[in-house]
Amino acid sequence: MTVTPPDLAAAEVRAPAPAPAARRAWLADLPVLAVAVVWGGSYLAAKGITTAHTVIAVLVLRFALVLPVLVATGGRRLRALTRAQLRGAAVLGFVLGGIFLLETYGVVHTSATNAGLIISLTMIFTPLAESAVRRRAPSAAFLGAAAVSVAGVVLLTQGAGFAAPGLGDLLILGAALARTLHVLLMARIKAVQDADSLSLTTVQLGAAVLVFALLAALPGTGATPWAAAADFGPAQWAGLVFLSVFCTLFAFYVQMWAVRRTSPSRVSLLLGTEPLWAAAAGIAIGGEHLGAAGLAGVVLVLAGTAWGRRAAA
């Protein structure tokens, strides 16, 4: 049996227990980190099932696949939403539709390396936008942490090279700005603050599907959802289910749940680890390799995220 010295035992007695607020923050952080992991894997999945001719069709299928399940399981809570809550969720859904249009077309027209790097700028845009709304400068520690994370993303993605910006890069930049707007709106629209998260997610996805369906009905917008689905094999259907259930339903439910329990900047910084997980998926599934610069980037992304979490708290 080990005997604890009296002074050490006293120190242990006097040591304060972890603050309940810190434990709650960790509980909110872990699901958001899981979202970053599945979003990191979404690049390979999207590239495997999407072409420039099928972007809108795949988006209709991706969102419509889970929408009936949400309506069936949460119908009673959905009917309990007020008109103001419905309007707020619909606005979020239209923004969400814009994010996916910009991001999916961008991924089709650029490399996964460029997409991962540019999307990570969300973690810079969000605290800056939040500070502008609140008329309060972000802390130097948070900006430093974000800079370290971005530097890590740059190193992490240099193995495949960074091409000159093109149309796809500009679309991904627009998606990063739209992600920032979406996170801020979730925190700022008062009508949705106390509403059921599942119901709000259902309305958001419904509004996004409406946007995609209207675009799909226009001539010249590519293959119809039915034609795209008919060409899918088992691998494409597996990719679609992954994108629909994990990268859409799970991800945006968690994001809405977490942003009301922490801060938009904190959520954005955790989601900023997405390129790290995209690289991990590329190594494990796509056969890519990291050099010394890439390994250094992994360390910087993890260090910057940990530092930023403390600064945001």
Mean pLDDT within 292-311: 77
**HSE-up of 150 (CA within 13 Å, CB side)?**
15
Top pLDDT among 57 and 9 is at 57
Q: What is the pLDDT of residues 44-72, one digit of tens each?
A: 788 888 888 999 999 999 988 889 888 88
Top pLDDT among 110 and 232 is at 232
Distances 305 to 8, 71, 128, 143, 160 between C-alpha atoms, Å:
33, 36, 17, 11, 23
Mean pLDDT within 287-303: 76
Please report the pLDDT score of residue 249 as a whole number.
79
Q: Is the pLDDT of residue 40 over 70?
A: yes
Q: Is the pLDDT of residue 211 over 90?
A: yes
Categorize the per-residue pLDDT at 15 as very low, low, confident or very high, splitting at 50, 70 and 90. Answer: very low
Residue type, position 66, single letter: V
Chain-centre distance for alpha carbon 3: 49
Q: What is the pLDDT of residues 257-269, one digit of tens each?
A: 777 677 776 776 7
Residues 6+ apart with CB under 8 A from 267: 32, 183, 255, 258, 259
Please report the pLDDT score of residue 69 as a whole number.
84
Integer Cα distance of 268 and 136 in angstroms: 18
Top pLDDT among 1 and 59 is at 59
Q: What is the pLDDT of residues 93-142, one digit of tens each?
A: 999 999 999 999 988 887 766 777 678 778 778 877 888 888 887 788 88
Integer Cα distance of 307 and 309 in angstroms: 6
